[in-house]
Amino acid sequence: MFEIDEHSIHSPFMFDLYLKAIKNAKKISDDPPIENLRKNYQKDIYSFQMKDLGAGSRILKNKTKKISDIVKHGITKPKYSKLLLSLINYFQCIHILELGTSLGLNTLYLAKGKHVKILKTFESDQNLANLALKNFKLSPENKIDLILGDINETLNQYLKQNDDIDFVYLDANHTYEATLKYTQDIIPHLSGQAVLVIDDIYWSADMTKAWKKICDSCSTRCCLDLYQLGIIIFQKNCAAGYYCLAY
Q: What is the CATH number of the domain that holds 176?
A: 3.40.50.150
Residue 240 within any structural domain of the chain: yes
Where helices occur in the chain by DSSP H, the ranges are 12-17, 32-42, 67-73, 78-90, 105-110, 126-135, 151-159, 176-186, 205-217
Query: CA triplet 113, 118, 122: central angle to 5 degrees?
Result: 100
Residue 181 within any structural domain of the chain: yes
Determine how many CB atoms are found less than 10 A away from the CB of residue 107.
28
Residue 59 within any structural domain of the chain: yes
Supply the pTM of this predicted model: 0.93
Q: Which residues contact 227 (CB under 8 A, 6 or more apart)?
A: 3, 201, 202, 247
Residue 44 one-letter amino acid: D
Domain hosting residue 22, numbered range: 9-244
Residue 154 within any structural domain of the chain: yes
Residue 1 within any structural domain of the chain: no
Rounded Cα gap, residues 230 and 211, in angstroms: 7
Residue 48 within any structural domain of the chain: yes
Regions in the chain scoring below 50 on pLDDT: 57-60
Q: How many folded domains does the chain comprise?
A: 1
Residue 2 within any structural domain of the chain: no
Residue 3 within any structural domain of the chain: no
